[in-house]
Amino acid sequence: MVTAALLLGEFKSEEELRAAVQIGGLLWQSRTQAVMQVRRVGRQLERLKEEVDAEGVRPSPARLDEVLAEVAATLKQLGATWRGR
pLDDT score for 48: 78
pLDDT tens by residue, the chain, 85 residues: 556 565 666 778 888 878 887 888 888 888 888 888 888 888 888 887 787 777 667 767 887 788 788 878 877 777 766 565 4
Residue 34 dihedral angles phi and psi, to the nearest 5°: -65, -45
pLDDT score for 56: 67
Are the beta carbons of 39 and 69 closer than 8 angstroms?
A: no
